[in-house]
Amino acid sequence: MDPKDVFCRVKSRLSGKQVVAAFAHISWGQFLLAQGPRGIEHLGVRITTFLRRLLGMEQVRVLGAEFEEDRLVIDVAPSWTKGRCSTCGATGPIRDQRVRRWRHLDVGGVECELRYSIRRVECSSCGVKVEQVPWAEHDTGFTKGFEDLIALMAQKTDKTTVARLLRIAWLTVGRVIERVVKRYGGDPSERLRGLRRIGIDELSYRKHHRYVTVVVDLDTRRVVWVAEGKDAAALDGFFEALGPAGTAALKVASIDMSGAFKKALRERAPHVRVVFDRFHVQRLVHDALDEIRRGMVAELRDPAEKRALKGTRFALQRSPWKLDAVARNKLTELEKENQPLYRAYLMKESLAAIFDTASPESIHSDLTGWLRWVEAEGLPPLVKAAETIAAHFDGITAYITVGVTNAITEGFNRKARVVTSRAYGFKRLSSFAAMLLLCCGGLSIPWPHVMPL
Ligand SMILES: [Zn+2]
């Protein structure tokens, strides 16, 4: 039997919509491409109805469609006729209009754009504004569904994959993420509700040239606040949004020892128990160890000896169980040849071991013992680090006694590093800040799975 006859027979028993629906189960997109607009109209469903169902968007009319080289362009319009101000939603007289396009979700693997002659409205309270459209925000060339997809992918995968799979430039992604975070991040003060234990940290962006201050809720493990800068003033906005009641409810703040955040806490929330994060303490000792090694390299005359000592950096910095045989041999050599440096290495490792194993009962005596040892050895950079530790003794031991677990701070630091590398290439610091909230802020973005209308 001729396929055409089959069509006619089926058509005689089913309504046009049902026929389309039956085919849609195979693939809406493929069917559309194979049949072309005329094929669908032949089945008794208007192409515009078909496309309206396919888009699955409320309050959107479809006026027509055409293929343009490699993409499908669908002409749409809002279901309302009067122009509404995109800022406040009020109607007003139309000033002018011009054709604009919005990239939308692919249809059956084909790039799809919505096209509409958008109007500018003379709003009595906002001035001349572009009109509101149901499929997109006013300052973007992407539909909401497509932006959500970009953000969902940027949350999970690297930038090359996002850019290639979605056929977009990575540079544009930063702004998209800012909009999506604004759309689903809710009221910033909402994120701060019920805060008890927080971690405050600075993160560098763009090769350490620029910084943001990040506040993490240690109980939910979510980023709740991101602000530019790394000084006490960076926290002003946080405490203002938190308000007096929220500030009073704060119990613990885990910070580094640099002083800026300590000052802010002393001024704005003096009742909060300040805790110094073990990883910041360990970094201090790490750096001291490296300084000792570099000092010894500088003093050596023999180039071969210089090279050998330079080559120990990796072995000294990494955790011993992560070393390969070559690096372990270097440590063995060091133990024989350079006792002071080897002991400095042991001090670094024992401090880590203290934090790994200490209990609230043992931390005071363990840390005091460690400080005495470092002092007795008398290696200047380490003595200096020990002095800093001694000056912050209460806050450092509190890290163990108030039960801020390593998993939280370490987990966040690891994740933040991934996010930072992924956000690389964003020009604006606000895009990087939005990326942190997107990936670590517990946002729930709707998945762009469409139900045909
Ligand atoms: Zn307005």
Listing DSSP states for 9-41 in one string gives HHHHHS-HHHHHHHHHHHHHHHHHHHHHHHHHH
pLDDT in tens, 98-156: 999 999 999 989 999 999 999 999 999 999 999 999 999 998 999 999 999 999 999 98
Contact by Cβ (8 Å): 258, 284 = no
The rounded Å distance from CA 139 to ligand 1 centre is: 15
Contact by Cβ (8 Å): 238, 215 = yes
The C-alpha angle 388, 393, 398, rounded to 5 degrees, equals: 135
From residue 146, how far is each of 100, 130, 167, 185 by CA, in Å? Answer: 16, 21, 11, 17
Residue 202 to residue 386: CA distance in whole angstroms: 23
Looking at residue 257, its pLDDT comes to: 81
Residue 269 to residue 191: CA distance in whole angstroms: 19
Residue 40 to residue 19: CA distance in whole angstroms: 10
The rounded Å distance from CA 190 to ligand 1 centre is: 26
Looking at residue 42, its pLDDT comes to: 52
Which residues is 72 bridged to in the sheet? Answer: 67, 112
Looking at residue 112, its pLDDT comes to: 96
The rounded Å distance from CA 174 to ligand 1 centre is: 27
The rounded Å distance from CA 136 to ligand 1 centre is: 17
Name the CA dihedral angle for 285, 289, 291, 294, rounded to a multiple of 10 degrees.
Answer: -160
The rounded Å distance from CA 123 to ligand 1 centre is: 5
Q: pLDDT under 50 in the chain at which residues?
A: 1-30, 39, 41
Looking at residue 448, its pLDDT comes to: 87
The rounded Å distance from CA 138 to ligand 1 centre is: 12
Task: Look up residue 278 and give its two tokens.
Answer: 């073990």
Looking at residue 36, its pLDDT comes to: 52
Looking at residue 12, its pLDDT comes to: 38
DSSP reduced 3-state for 330: helix
